[in-house]
Amino acid sequence: MAKRPDPFRIALFTLAGLVLSSANARAGANKFDLGFGFYSFTAKTSTGSGSNSGLGLYSLNFRRAITPRFELALGYTVYFSKLVSGDSGSGLDLGMNFYPLTFSGPVEASGEGTKIELEQLWRPYIGATFNQRNFQSVQTTYTGFGVAVGLERVLNETMNLNALFRYLKLNGARGSTGSEMNTSVGISLKF
């Protein structure tokens, strides 16, 4: 009687095959994002709840492709309740993005004395994030996980337009919970 293959080994070999089969595609440039947008944060504690929202989200991100379809992201987000003043919050963002329909950057093909580089104009992506938030008014730190949906539009060889929506589910001290939604639009510089 033949031994059935282990599902973990099948998944591991499938993943290795996908990575090796896409090795000819250039993994894409590093990207540095500058974003501006809207946020909405809601928190609940055992004694009450509150919310804060506004047009005053600023974000900086560094993204690095690890395969042609996956990239790691490390960033920092700052919030202001009155565009550039008022109540503020900030926090670290760590995530991984997946490009299901395209590659995260240009695709390169070469032959005898010929080199072709192709780049899709529109690149949608989805992501999973780990986030940390500190809010000035409540002096509380929140941490948790989130999901992201983004879309890049190539503008030229060194710049993309980047739109991003994130939803975060956060936990704080003494059983407090929070949720955050934010939308940003910005420029992504490729290097």
Can you give the pTM of this predicted structure?
Answer: 0.80
Give me the pLDDT at residue 29, please.
Answer: 73
> Which string of b and e fits 86-107 if b means at least 16 CB within 10 Å?
eebbebebebbbebeebbbbbb
Question: What is the four-CA torsion angle of 141, 79, 50, 129, rounded to 10 degrees?
Answer: -60
CB-CB neighbours of 51 under 10 Å? 11
Judged on CB neighbours under 10 Å (0-12, 13-18, 19+), 108 is middle
- List the CATH code of the domain at 26-190: 2.40.160.20
CA distance 151 to 154: 10
Select the more confidently predicted residue: 99 or 85. 99
Helix, strand, coil shares, percent, the chain, to 5: 10, 65, 25
Give me the pLDDT at residue 107, please.
Answer: 81
Has residue 11 got a pLDDT over 80? no
CA atoms within 13 A on the CB side of 117: 7
Tokens 């989130």, residue? 146
> Domain ranges in the chain?
26-190
Give me the pLDDT at residue 14, please.
Answer: 55
Give me the pLDDT at residue 7, please.
Answer: 56
